Chains A and B, each alone.
Chain A
Amino acid sequence: MTRYGGLGRTRPKKLTSKASIPVVRESEIDIIDDEIQSSLQQIETGVEKAEESEIHLQRAINATAQGKVNEAHIPTPETILSNLQYDELYPPIFSQPATYIRFSSTVEDCCGCPYNMTEDDDAYLKLMNQKRDPSAGRCTEDIFEEVMNFFEETAQIKQPYAAIDNPPVLSFAEMQDMMDATLEDPMKIFAKEIYEHWKSCRMSVQNNAIVPQLKFETGQDTDDSDPFVCFRRREVRQIRKTRGRDAQSAEKLRRLRKELEDARELVALVRQREIARREMLSMERHLFKQRAEVKEMKRKLNVKDDDEDLINQKPKKRALDMPAQRPNAPQLRMPLKAGQGAEDLQLLEDVQAEKENEILRDIKQNITKHIKWNEGYVDHTRAPLSPSPERTFDVATFRPAFTAQLPTPPSSESSGEMETSLDVTSPLFSKDKLASHDMEMHDVPHRMPSFRRRVGRGGRLMIDRRNMGANKVEMDPLKADRFKFDQEDSDEDHDYDTDAYSIQIMQHRAITMAKAREQAAVAAQAHAQAQAQAAQAQAQRRLLEQNGHQGSMGSNLGPGAVTVSET
C-alpha cells in the first residue's frame, strides 16, 4: 500500500481533532495523485445507498472533485410562469413594519369561512336567487359558504366516522337541532334550500366531506400501509431512566399513596359520623314516639302537670353546666350573666355591647394603672406606653418656654391646651385623659391652631405656632417627631413621607420639587395667614370666655404656663 504520500508501508499518524494541522498551498508539497480515488471512496456521502449510484449525482460529484463546479448540475423538472392573474389574486396590501414581525394567528384565524364555493355552487346559488322573491332578499356568497360550512361541520361532529361506517346523509331535521346555536337568523332562511344542494353534493362523494380532506389515522389496520395517511400522533417519547428519576417517581408514588389513604380515612370518618347521626335520628324518633304515647296516656288519664317531660330538657342541663364552667372561663369570655336565663334568646347587640364594655373597662383599668405608676414622670421613650404620650410630650417640651414667657401677657390661648397642660397633675386628669384617649384621633384635627410670641436674647421676637392643621394623623409618629418643630413646611410634610428611594422617584422629586416648592411656599404662607387670622378671631373669642375661668384656676397655672398665640 503506497497510499499515504509514498511513504511505503508506514502507517500514518493518527489524526486527532485537536491536533493542529499546518495549512499549506499545493505548490509547497509534492503531488501524489493516487490519493484522490482512495480518499474519495472512504467518505460516506450521507445519501441513501440506493441513490448514491444515480448517474446525475455521480457526474456532479466527479465534476466537483475535478473542480468543474459549473458542471455539477442535476437536472430537475422545469417550472414555468403561470398564466394566472396574479395581481388580482394577490393584492399589494403588505406594508412592512419597522420592527420584526411578531405573529401568532393561525391559518384558520386568517382564512375566514373554511368552505369555498365552486362553480357548481355558483350555479346553484344563481338558480336559488332567481327562484326567490326579489323582495325577500338574496343569498350572498358569504352566507352560502357559511351555511355550507355549517352543514359540513355538523356532519363531521355527528358522523365522525362517516368514512368508515357509511351512515346515511344527515337529515335536515338533525341539522336544525344544531342550527340555533351556530347560524345567525338571516342565514337560516336559506338553510333549507342550501341543504338540498349540500345533500346532493354529499351523495355524489359517498357522504364524505365535500372538500377533499387529508387522511388521518382512523384506527384501522390499514392505516399503517396507506401512503395517504399522514400526520399521525407521536407516542410519548421514552424518558431516560436515571436513579434520580427513579427516586422521584418513588417519592411521587409514596405521596400518592399517602394522599389516597388520607382520603380513604376521611371517607371512613364521614361514614362513621353519618352512622352516628342516623342513630341519633332514630333515637329522637323513638323518643318522640314515646312522648306521643306519654301525651296520649296523660290525656287519657287526665294527668295535669307542667308537661316538662314532653319537651327536651337540654336548657336545664346547660344551666347546670354553666356554673361549673364559670370559674375557669377567662375574663374576656362572653358575659356569663346572660347565661342564667339561657332559654331567653340573647340579642346580638347586647352581647356585643357587653363585650365592648368589658374591653373598655379593661383598657381603662390598665390606663389608670399605668398612669398611676408613671405619675410624676414623663415618658420620653419612642412609642411611649403612656396613653397619651404625645400630649404629655408636647406639653413637656413646651413647658420650658412657659417660664420665659412671662414678660408678655397672654393674648390668646386655646382652652384645650390650657386644660391639658394643667391637668398633668390635676386630680381630674385620669378621667380626662381617658376621654381624650378615646377621642384622640378625632381630637387632633380639631385642635385650635395657637401661637405664641417670645422675645429671645437680644430682643429677638419669636413666634411659635401650634396645631397648624398639619395632617399629622397620617404620619409615622417617629417621623412626626423629627419634624415636630419644623412646622414652617407643614404643608409639605408628605414629601418626607415618601420613603421610596428609587432613582426614578428621587429624580422626579428633584425636578418637581424645585418648582413646586416655590409655589407651595407662597400658597402655604397665604394659607397659614388665612388660618391664623381665623384662629386669632376664634382665640380671642375664647379668651374672653376663659378669662374668668383662668382666674378661678390661676393658682394651678404654676410658673406662668401660658400659651401665647399671636400673628
Chain B
Amino acid sequence: MGVRDSHGETTGTPDPVDRGFATLNTIRIGVKAMVQKDGELRKAEILSIRQRKDGPSFYVHYVDFNKRLDEWVASSRIDLSQEVEWPQPDKADKKKTAAASKAAPSKNVNANKRARAESRDMSQTPDILGGNNANVGKLSRPSKAGGKENLGVETPGDSSMFPSEAVSTAGTPKATESEDFEMADAAAESKSVKEDHVQTTTGEVITRGEEIERLRTGGSMTQNPTEIHRVRNLTRLQMGKYDVEPWYFSPYPDSFSDVDLVYIDEFCLSYFDNKRAFERHRAKCTLTHPPGNEIYRDDYISFFEVDGRRQRTWCRNLCLLSKLFLDHKTLYYDVDPFLFYCMTTRDETGCHFVGYFSKEKDSAEGYNLACIMTLPQYQRRGFGRLLISFSYELSKREGKLGSPEKPLSDLGLLGYRQYWRETLVELLIEPTREAISENELAVLTSMTEKDVHETLVVFNMLRYHKGNWVIVLTDQVVEEHEKRLKKEEIKGARKIDPARLQWKPPVFAASSRTWNW
C-alpha cells in the first residue's frame, strides 16, 4: 500500500510536494494529512471543514480508497505530528502561490485569536468576494485564509446564498467583477481538476468545456468524477424497511443536507426531509410498483420497463436515488433518452424496487446498458448478476451484441467480470465443445467480441501454446464452476428465463427520439 502511494505520487507529480507541519487552524481544503482509519493511519485529503460545538470536523477522502468511504472525522483523528502535504498551487499563477504560501504562516500566527464566525461573515459579503480578484497576496489578513477554509462548508443559510463562495476567495485574477465570482468558482474547480489529474493519473486531462461538450453530444450517463461535487450531501436515508447510508453526492434539494434523515417513498421514490410530510404522502400515494409495463415475471422477481420520457418524475427520482450510490453517474441532463429496467421483488405490499439498469433508447456506441445499480440494502444477494443477465437477455432479443457503458465502477467491474467469466465457462465446459471462435461466443452470449476476448485473457484462459491459440479451462475456473453448480443445487439457481420475457425491442419514432421538448 505504501509502495503504491509513493508510486502514484512520484510518477504523477513532477513537481516536488510542498510538505510541512500544520495545526488544526492551518489545515485547509486540499491538504493531505494522515488520518486514523480502522486502527491505522491513512493519507487523506481534506475536502471540507465544518464547525461543530465540539470543534471542527473534517470531510476526508482517503487516498486510494473509493469515495464511498469518505467521511467526516473529528480533529482528534488527524495526526498532526506528521508533516502534511499542502495543495498544489495552480502553475498558471505562480505569483499568487507565493503570496498564498506567505499568507499561510502569517495566518498561523493570528490563528488563535481569530473567530471563525467572523471570518465566515467576511467571506459572505459579496464586496469582499469581489475584492478578492485584485491580488490574493494583498489580503494578508487571516480572514482570507479563513474564507478559504470555508470551502464547501455546509452551513445553513450560508450555502443557500453562496453555495461555494469560499472557492472564489481562492480566486483567480481573471475574475474582475463581483457578479463573476461563480465563474471564478468554476475556474478554481477546473484548476483542482488539473491538480487531481497530475497527482493521481497520467491519463488525459479533460477541461470542463470539453466535458460538457461531450455530455451534450454524447448522451452519456457518466461524468468526469472530479467534476462533481465531492462532499456527500445527505446523511442518511430511510427507505422501505431500511436505513441506508448514502455513498456519494446527489443533487437533491440543497436544504436536504441539513437534515439527519431523508425519507424516500419505496414505490414512487419521492423524497422528503420531514417525517410528517412523508407520512402524509404515504397516506395518499397509491403506487405499488414501478410505473411502467411489467415485461418479466418469475417466482422471485419482476422487471418493469419505464420510459424516461413518459415517467419523467419517477425516473428523475430514481436517478437522484441511484446517484447516491453511483459515483460516475451524471444528472447533468434529463432522463428522456433512456429506458429504465427496474427489478422488483414482490410481497403483499407491492413490488419493491431492488435495482435497475438504464439503457439508451438508441445507443450510438452500441451500449446495452448505461447505469446499473442494486440498492445497498439488497446487495450481495445475486441481484446484480440478475440485472446484468437481464440486460444481455434484452440484447439477445434485439439480436445485438452489447457492452456496458464505461467507466465501470469498482463494484461494476467485479460484477461484470464475474458474470462474463461464469457465462463463458458455462458454454466452454459443455462436454461436446471442442473448439469455438470468439465470434461464436459473442453471438451466443450477446457479449461483444472485445468483452469475450478480454475476459478470456483476464482469467488467463486464452493462451498461445505450441504455435497455436487455445482456450484453457483452467483448474481454477472449472473448480469455481463446479462450486457454483453445487451451490445452485442447494439454494436453487436464480436465473433469467427467456421464455418469461414478454418484450419486443421498442421502436421510437424520430420525433420521440429527439431530445428536446
Which residues of A lie under 8 Å from residue B347 when comparing CB positions? Answer: 92, 94
Supposing A74-B410, A86-B240, A212-B255 touch, asked if A69 and B287 sit within 8 A by C-beta, the answer is no
Asked if residues A74 and B434 are in contact (CB atoms below 8 Å), the reply is no
Asked if residues A110 and B285 are in contact (CB atoms below 8 Å), the reply is yes
Measured between alpha carbons, how far is A106 from B314 in the docked complex, in Å? 7
Q: Choose from B376, B411, B457 the contact partner of A43 (Cβ within 8 Å).
A: B457
> Which residues of A (52-110) have their CB < 8 Å from a CB of B?
53-58, 60-61, 64-65, 67, 69, 72, 74-82, 84, 86, 89-96, 100-108, 110
Measured between alpha carbons, how far is A76 from B217 in the docked complex, in Å? 34
Which residues of B lie under 8 Å from residue A86 when comparing CB positions? Answer: 240-241
Which residues of A lie under 8 Å from residue B473 when comparing CB positions? Answer: 23-26
Measured between alpha carbons, how far is A94 from B294 in the docked complex, in Å? 15
Asked if residues B285 and A54 are in contact (CB atoms below 8 Å), the reply is no
Tell me the dominant secondary structure on chain B's binding face.
mixed
Distance in angstroms from B414 CB to nearest chain A CB is 6
Which residues of A lie under 8 Å from residue B130 when comparing CB positions? Answer: none
Which residues of B lie under 8 Å from residue A118 when comparing CB positions? Answer: 274, 276-277
Measured between alpha carbons, how far is A424 from B336 in the docked complex, in Å? 83
Asked if residues B314 and A107 are in contact (CB atoms below 8 Å), the reply is yes
Whether a CB of chain A sits under 8 angstroms from the CB of B466 is: yes
Supposing A21-B470, A53-B8, A226-B163 touch, asked if A231 and B465 sit within 8 A by C-beta, the answer is no
Q: Choose from A104, A212, A224 the contact partner of B256 (Cβ within 8 Å).
A: A212
Distance in angstroms from B35 CB to nearest chain A CB is 15
Whether a CB of chain B sits under 8 angstroms from the CB of A177 is: no
Interface pick from B135-143, B195-203, B389-397: B195-203
Asked if residues B438 and A231 are in contact (CB atoms below 8 Å), the reply is no
Distance in angstroms from B366 CB to nearest chain A CB is 14
Whether a CB of chain A sits under 8 angstroms from the CB of B13 is: no
Which residues of B lie under 8 Å from residue A25 when comparing CB positions? Answer: 472-473, 475, 478
Asked if residues A24 and B516 are in contact (CB atoms below 8 Å), the reply is no
Interface pick from A232-240, A407-415, A426-434: A232-240
Whether a CB of chain B sits under 8 angstroms from the CB of A486 is: no
Supposing A74-B414, A102-B294, A119-B274 touch, asked if A54 and B457 sit within 8 A by C-beta, the answer is no
> Which residues of A (268-303) have their CB < 8 Å from a CB of B?
none
Which residues of A lie under 8 Å from residue B514 when comparing CB positions? Answer: 236-237
Measured between alpha carbons, how far is A418 from B94 in the docked complex, in Å? 128
0/1 per residue, B271-314, Cβ < 8 Å to A? 01110111111101111110111110100001010000011111
Asked if residues B186 and A237 are in contact (CB atoms below 8 Å), the reply is no
> Which residues of A (198-250) have their CB < 8 Å from a CB of B?
206, 211-215, 221-222, 224-238
Whether a CB of chain B sits under 8 angstroms from the CB of A4 is: yes
Measured between alpha carbons, how far is A266 from B438 in the docked complex, in Å? 68
Interface pick from A34-42, A307-315, A477-485, A537-545: A34-42
Asked if residues A225 and B289 are in contact (CB atoms below 8 Å), the reply is no
Whether a CB of chain A sits under 8 angstroms from the CB of B356 is: no
Measured between alpha carbons, how far is A234 from B213 in the docked complex, in Å? 11
0/1 per residue, A1-34, Cβ < 8 Å to B? 0001101001011010111111111110110100
Asked if residues B304 and A101 are in contact (CB atoms below 8 Å), the reply is yes
Q: Choose from B284, B320, B513 the contact partner of A112 (Cβ within 8 Å).
A: B284
Measured between alpha carbons, how far is A95 from B346 in the docked complex, in Å? 10
Measured between alpha carbons, how far is A497 from B320 in the docked complex, in Å? 67
Whether a CB of chain B sits under 8 angstroms from the CB of A51 is: yes
Measured between alpha carbons, how far is A45 from B414 in the docked complex, in Å? 10
Measured between alpha carbons, how far is A54 from B200 in the docked complex, in Å? 11
Which residues of A lie under 8 Å from residue B459 when comparing CB positions? Answer: 65
Supposing A47-B408, A48-B225 touch, asked if A101 and B243 sit within 8 A by C-beta, the answer is no
Which residues of B lie under 8 Å from residue A236 when comparing CB positions? Answer: 514-516
Whether a CB of chain B sits under 8 angstroms from the CB of A122 is: yes
Query: Which of B255, B406, B469 counts the most A-chain CB atoms under 10 A from its CB?
Result: B469
Asked if residues A74 and B313 are in contact (CB atoms below 8 Å), the reply is no
Q: Choose from B254, B270, B351 the contact partner of A228 (Cβ within 8 Å).
A: B254
Whether a CB of chain A sits under 8 angstroms from the CB of B229 is: yes
Output the nearest chain A residue to B38 by Cβ-Cβ distance.
Answer: A75
Which residues of A lie under 8 Å from residue B311 when comparing CB positions? Answer: 106-107
Query: Which of A74, A76, A112, A225 counts the most B-chain CB atoms under 10 A from its CB?
Result: A225
Which residues of A lie under 8 Å from residue B458 when comparing CB positions? Answer: 39-40, 43, 65
Measured between alpha carbons, how far is A538 from B384 in the docked complex, in Å? 93
Whether a CB of chain A sits under 8 angstroms from the CB of B493 is: no
Whether a CB of chain A sits under 8 angstroms from the CB of B242 is: yes
Asked if residues B406 and A21 are in contact (CB atoms below 8 Å), the reply is no
Whether a CB of chain A sits under 8 angstroms from the CB of B433 is: yes
Whether a CB of chain A sits under 8 angstroms from the CB of B21 is: no
Whether a CB of chain B sits under 8 angstroms from the CB of A460 is: no
Whether a CB of chain A sits under 8 angstroms from the CB of B502 is: yes
Tell me the dominant secondary structure on chain A's binding face.
loop
Asked if residues B65 and A54 are in contact (CB atoms below 8 Å), the reply is yes
Asked if residues A79 and B244 are in contact (CB atoms below 8 Å), the reply is yes
Supposing A106-B313, A226-B163 touch, asked if A234 and B470 sit within 8 A by C-beta, the answer is no
Asked if residues B186 and A26 are in contact (CB atoms below 8 Å), the reply is no
Number of interface residues of A (CB under 8 A): 110
Measured between alpha carbons, how far is A107 from B269 in the docked complex, in Å? 9
Output the nearest chain B residue to A45 by Cβ-Cβ distance.
Answer: B413
Whether a CB of chain B sits under 8 angstroms from the CB of A117 is: yes
Asked if residues B196 and A50 are in contact (CB atoms below 8 Å), the reply is yes
Distance in angstroms from A249 CB to nearest chain B CB is 14
Which residues of A lie under 8 Å from residue B270 when comparing CB positions? Answer: 107, 111
Whether a CB of chain B sits under 8 angstroms from the CB of A141 is: yes
> Which residues of B (211-245) have their CB < 8 Å from a CB of A?
212, 216-217, 219, 225-226, 228-229, 238-245
Whether a CB of chain A sits under 8 angstroms from the CB of B182 is: yes
Which residues of B lie under 8 Å from residue A215 when comparing CB positions? Answer: 251, 253-254
Interface pick from B79-87, B96-104, B110-118, B325-333: B325-333
Which residues of B lie under 8 Å from residue A60 when comparing CB positions? Answer: 410, 414
Whether a CB of chain A sits under 8 angstroms from the CB of B464 is: yes
Asked if residues B238 and A84 are in contact (CB atoms below 8 Å), the reply is yes
Whether a CB of chain B sits under 8 angstroms from the CB of A113 is: yes
Supposing A25-B472, A141-B280, A234-B516 touch, asked if A227 and B249 sit within 8 A by C-beta, the answer is yes
> Which residues of B (6-58) have their CB < 8 Å from a CB of A?
8
Asked if residues B219 and A26 are in contact (CB atoms below 8 Å), the reply is no
Output the nearest chain A residue to B244 by Cβ-Cβ distance.
Answer: A79
Asked if residues B332 and A230 are in contact (CB atoms below 8 Å), the reply is yes
Distance in angstroms from B197 CB to nearest chain A CB is 8
Measured between alpha carbons, how far is A18 from B379 in the docked complex, in Å? 38
Query: Which of A22, A92, A235 counts the most B-chain CB atoms under 10 A from its CB?
Result: A22
Distance in angstroms from A519 CB to nearest chain B CB is 48
0/1 per residue, B309-323, Cβ < 8 Å to A? 011111011011000
Which residues of B lie under 8 Å from residue A48 when comparing CB positions? Answer: 225, 328, 407
Which residues of A lie under 8 Å from residue B241 when comparing CB positions? Answer: 81-82, 84, 86
Which residues of B lie under 8 Å from residue A21 when comparing CB positions? Answer: 435-438, 462, 469-471
Whether a CB of chain A sits under 8 angstroms from the CB of B72 is: no
Whether a CB of chain B sits under 8 angstroms from the CB of A116 is: yes
Q: Choose from B253, B285, B376, B410 the contact partner of A51 (Cβ within 8 Å).
A: B410
Whether a CB of chain B sits under 8 angstroms from the CB of A390 is: no
Asked if residues A94 and B185 are in contact (CB atoms below 8 Å), the reply is no
Measured between alpha carbons, how far is A471 from B124 in the docked complex, in Å? 98
Complex A-B, nearest 4 residue pairs according to Cβ-Cβ distance, in ascending order = A212-B253, A234-B515, A112-B284, A227-B229
Known A21-B462, A232-B334, A233-B334; 7 more pairs at CB < 8 Å: A15-B438, A17-B442, A43-B457, A103-B294, A106-B312, A110-B286, A111-B287
Can you list 29 residue pairs at the A/B interface with Cβ under 8 Å?
A: A5-B465, A15-B453, A22-B468, A32-B463, A36-B460, A46-B407, A48-B225, A50-B225, A51-B225, A53-B8, A74-B411, A76-B376, A90-B240, A94-B350, A100-B294, A100-B297, A100-B502, A102-B294, A107-B270, A107-B287, A107-B313, A111-B287, A117-B280, A212-B253, A224-B212, A225-B183, A228-B163, A231-B335, A233-B517
Residue positions of A touching B, CB distance < 8 A: 4-5, 7, 10, 12-13, 15, 17-27, 29-30, 32, 35-36, 39-40, 42-51, 53-58, 60-61, 64-65, 67, 69, 72, 74-82, 84, 86, 89-96, 100-108, 110-113, 116-119, 122, 141, 145, 206, 211-215, 221-222, 224-238
